[in-house]
Amino acid sequence: MRIFTNDTELIKLGIPYLRIVSVSYLCMGISQIYLCIMKNSGRTFRSTIYGSTTVVINLILNTVLIFGLFGMPKLEISGAAIATVIARIVELLLVLLENQKQDVVRIRINYLMHREKELWKDFLHYTTPVLACE
């Protein structure tokens, strides 16, 4: 938090938000990669629908959980984090369901764990400078 602000009040408020929302980062990492795969393989419309659905779910849940509408408890900042986590889980589930179809580009875990020596050398050659820069 200190990277972004020195305001102790903001840091105090941001800590619970980051603790909760951090769960969504893994979900989002997986789903965003697959959404990009969908766009690059000609399924842009469906990818857009999934992404838009996630945004709408997040907006609705933010409103409900931050302000405590419809009998839900007023969770304020924590509510925003919980809404984000739920929206990202829904996005991941949509992507995983899409990945089960037979006639589409699919993520295959066993291929992710297999390393080709030449490909691994190329990967390290091109990504190491980028990672070092970041």
Would you list the domain boundaries of the chain?
8-107
93 has a pLDDT exceeding 90? yes
Task: Return the higher-pLDDT residue of 43 and 87.
Answer: 87
Contact 127, 134 (CB under 8 A): no
Q: How many angstroms from the chain centroid is the CA of residue 99?
A: 16
User: Of 3-12, 59-68, 80-89, where does mean pLDDT reach its minimum?
Assistant: 3-12
74 has a pLDDT exceeding 90? yes
Residue range 12-47, pLDDT digits in tens = 989 999 999 999 999 999 899 889 988 988 889 999
Query: Can you give the pTM of this predicted structure?
Result: 0.77
Contact 88, 98 (CB under 8 A): no
